[in-house]
Copies of this chain bind each other. A is one copy, B any other.
Amino acid sequence: MTLSPEQQAEIDDLRANPQPTLRTVSEGMEKHLYSAIPVLDHGFVRVVDYMGDDAAICQAARVSYGKGTKSVQNDEGLIRYLMRHWHSTPFEMCEIKLHVKLPVFVARQWIRHRTANVNEYSARYSILDREFYIPAPEALAAQSVVNNQGRGEALEGEEADRVLRYLRDDAMRAYDHYEEMISQEGQKGLARELARMNLPANVYTQWYWKVDLHNLLHFLRLRADAHAQYEIRVYADAICDVVADWVPFAYKAFEDYRMGGATLSATALDCVRRMLKGEAVTQENSGMSKGEWREFMGVLA
């Protein structure tokens, strides 16, 4: 990621001028405000604004008149209770606004999370920068041989070289042509809204993304998961670190009940009960398909 000196100066300026507020302040979040966390080769995530903290979750849960917090200890227990029993509305009382720079193919996955507010850089109106995601060598993964949707080990040698050459050359050529097509020197110049169609999906875009904590945690559960595509997972991981500082109790409960937890079916629970009674349960007598059994064994391992 490269911030221009002007951008860095602007961030420094914003961080240098605290103002008094009567609102709830999350100390952990104030540390992050405006600073850009680098992700991938040219991307970043930065917190632009936030509302609420752990106490706001409890306040909403209690709908008590005032602070709603009796003691820090109680708050953590209440938050764990809410998370365990899928009470979602109190977590909706916190809100975060992020500025994200990301490749278009990542943006296309991200936007599928509908319960969020988005303002994206417009390539109808403005000219995109010459910035493309080129994977680091260790991220240049082969197609999985066991899973249509997965990755295998990294490519190597000649094959890796050729892929990187294709990705770089095609991106540069596409951008050269993009510039030539929209140029108004000695010609009319193609409309920007059309010229952009020549750019590949690894071009970077950016947006403001605002979401409540409940929906953010749902996003993180899916996108910080080991099965998520690496290129969106690194964004989710960066956001996890921010959330851990913002609402530490909620984040710890999230780690325990969601990220580290697992949902077992009625059939799987029955198998667990049989196994605890000493029965030798196998896939054949489990009532599960081979795929389900393999996943179940993974959970118990």
Q: Which residue from chain B places its CB closest to the CB of A202 in the assembled complex? A: B197
A 144-163 contacts with B by CB, 8 A: 144, 148-153, 155, 159, 162-163
Q: Identify the 3 closest CB pairs spanning chains A and B, nearest first.
A: A260-B266, A18-B20, A142-B188
Let me know if A93 and B97 touch, CB within 8 A. yes
Q: A155-B190, A193-B229 are in contact. List 8 more A-B contacts (CB 8 A).
A: A18-B22, A95-B210, A112-B118, A150-B191, A196-B201, A198-B202, A261-B269, A262-B264
Let me know if A266 and B273 touch, CB within 8 A. no
Q: Closest Cβ of chain B: how far from A201's Cβ, in Å? A: 5
**Known contacts A84-B292, A93-B208, A163-B181; A61 and B119 CB within 8 A of each other:** yes
Interface residues of A, CB < 8 Å — how many?
A: 134
Q: In this assembly, does A226 line the interface, its C-beta being within 8 Å of a C-beta of chain B?
A: no
Q: Closest Cβ of chain B: how far from A224's Cβ, in Å? A: 14
Let me know if A56 and B49 touch, CB within 8 A. yes
Q: Closest Cβ of chain B: how far from A270's Cβ, in Å? A: 9
Q: Which residues of B lie under 8 Å from residue A272 when comparing CB positions?
A: 272, 300
Q: Which residue from chain B places its CB closest to the CB of A272 in the assembled complex? A: B272
* Chain A interface residues (CB < 8 Å from chain B): 7, 10-11, 14-15, 17-25, 30, 33-34, 48-52, 56, 59-61, 63, 65-67, 77, 80-81, 84, 86, 89-90, 92-93, 95, 97, 99, 103-105, 108, 111-112, 114-115, 117-122, 124-126, 133, 135, 140-144, 148-153, 155, 159, 162-163, 166-167, 170-171, 173-174, 177, 180-182, 184, 187-194, 196-202, 206-208, 210, 212, 222, 229, 255-257, 259-269, 272-273, 275-276, 289, 291-292, 295, 299-301
How many copies of this chain?
4
Let me know if B189 and A143 touch, CB within 8 A. yes
Let me know if B10 and A14 touch, CB within 8 A. no
Q: How far is the CA of A265 from the CA of B259 in the complex (A)?
A: 9
